[in-house]
Amino acid sequence: PLPLFPASPSSLSISPPHFLSPVTEPVTEPVDPVDLLSEEEEQQPYPALAPVVFFCIKQTTRPRSWCLRTVSTWFEHVSMIVILLNCVTLGMYQPCEDVTCQAEWCLILQVFDDCIFAFFAVEMVIKMVALGIFGSKCYLGDTWNRLDFFIVMAGMMEYSLDGHNASLSAIRTVRVLRPLRAINRVPSMRILVTLLLDTLPMLGNVLLLCFFVFFIFGIVGVQLWAGLLRNRCFMGEDFRTLYNLSLSVYYQPEESEEDPFICSAIRENGMLRCHDVPPYSEGGAECSLPAPSLGGEGGARDGCVNWNQYYNVCRPGNVNPHKGAVNFDNIAYAWIAIFQVITLEGWVDIMYYVMDAHSFYNFIYFIFLIIVGSFFMINLCLVVIATQFAETKQRENALMREQRARYMSNDSTLASYSEPGSCYEEMLRYVSHLYRKLTRRVQRMYTTWHR
């Protein structure tokens, strides 16, 4: 038989009897990893969360344990109700009717807003105590929680600056972001927004291609039509002075400047010339007489003179159509016009302006632009979004199935995320857990007694 205590250090390689083994490493039988997992889960009720926050508060400590139970039960439902109430109160504000907020209805809404802000602040503090502040598993580790933190901080700034003669209009606009907090409370909506955000990197190549297409079409438009949309039909320089006329310097249609008469210069082949200016009218009747000769006598002075026939000089002016918004004078304005064309909103007017000033065959440019920009590029963006959405959705479903399989294989009944089975299965799991727990305690008492 081997001695109980070895006489030399060389004999330390011989295994001692089981009743002299350390408590943490019994050699009688191997420790089941499931038992260790169960013991760890028993010590940490929420394994997915940080075990210690604020350097000293554990999950079982009273302030944090209360906050964890509050967050994991009914708190999210109450938060969702408060968010919906906040949407209603924000929609009821009428700042134009009561600027100083002295009416009874405005004061009631203000009280509701203060209570809602207090609830959001308390919610943030509770979640910070429950989850911690910094870290991957803590409060500020989640993007939606950072949005909540920003909204609460903006509200605190508004209340701190109130009464200091400071402009709070920019800060109060942050209240509009409060309804976005509902995205984090509804899991399906949160997943949908996350999937849409995942598609944005895939649109980089498509947007780069759109930029090159816009750049090419913009350069072509600037080279062909720079300054042409300023063309107007002007009178002679001394004609208005000689006849003391109060007419406009260049011809303007009776409608407005929103539909200008853009003429084509002599060197261009546009659709409109200055001789196409309609006759001057008085009282609804068109005038056809020429201007009387200076110093002469005749009935022309008393008749209806067609003054519009003297708008016969086509040259560039200072105004572009639609208050200068539509033109091809530089690449920036050309991109604005191209973007308006591919949206199919008012593109016909731009095409007619260019055809009147330059050439009838300019419609080919706009047809190609609509085919490439509207029918191809925009639909390509939609295809990329739909494809990436399907891939991301498939990946999320696979991850959820993997987590579900892992949770189903966990035998511990104290796991925070394990899916519940039938009543019979839960009873067997609970009895198995009690048996393992009793076995561990008996083993500890036995080894302690033999020490």
Each of the 451 residues of the chain gets a pLDDT tens digit; together they read 444 444 444 443 444 444 333 444 444 445 444 444 444 444 566 666 777 777 777 767 777 777 777 776 677 778 888 888 888 887 787 767 666 777 788 888 888 888 888 888 888 888 888 888 887 778 888 777 888 888 888 888 877 776 555 555 666 677 777 777 777 666 667 777 777 777 778 788 888 888 899 999 999 999 999 999 999 999 877 777 777 778 888 888 876 667 889 999 988 899 999 988 988 888 778 888 888 776 554 444 556 888 888 888 899 988 899 888 999 999 999 999 999 999 998 899 999 999 999 999 999 999 999 999 888 888 888 888 788 777 777 776 776 676 566 444 433 333 334 444 444 465 667 677 778 888 888 888 888 887 6
Q: Quick one: tokens of 78?
A: 């109450």
Contact (CB, 8 A) for 138 and 53: yes
Rounded CA separation 123/79 (Å):
8
- What type of residue is 313? V
pLDDT of residue 27: 46
Name, in order, each residue with C-beta under 8 angstroms of 217's C-beta and a sequence gap of 6 or more: 334, 338, 365, 369, 373
Q: State the residue for tokens 């009387």.
A: 292
pLDDT of residue 67: 79
Q: Quick one: tokens of 48?
A: 């997915």
Query: What Cα–Cα distance (Å) separates residue 384 from each residue in 195, 308, 370?
Result: 13, 55, 20
Q: State the residue for tokens 């919906």.
A: 84
Rounded CA separation 190/195 (Å):
9
pLDDT of residue 93: 75
Read off the pTM: 0.58
Q: What is the signed CA dihedral for 419, 423, 425, 427, rounded to 10 degrees? A: 110
pLDDT of residue 41: 45
pLDDT of residue 184: 67
pLDDT of residue 219: 95
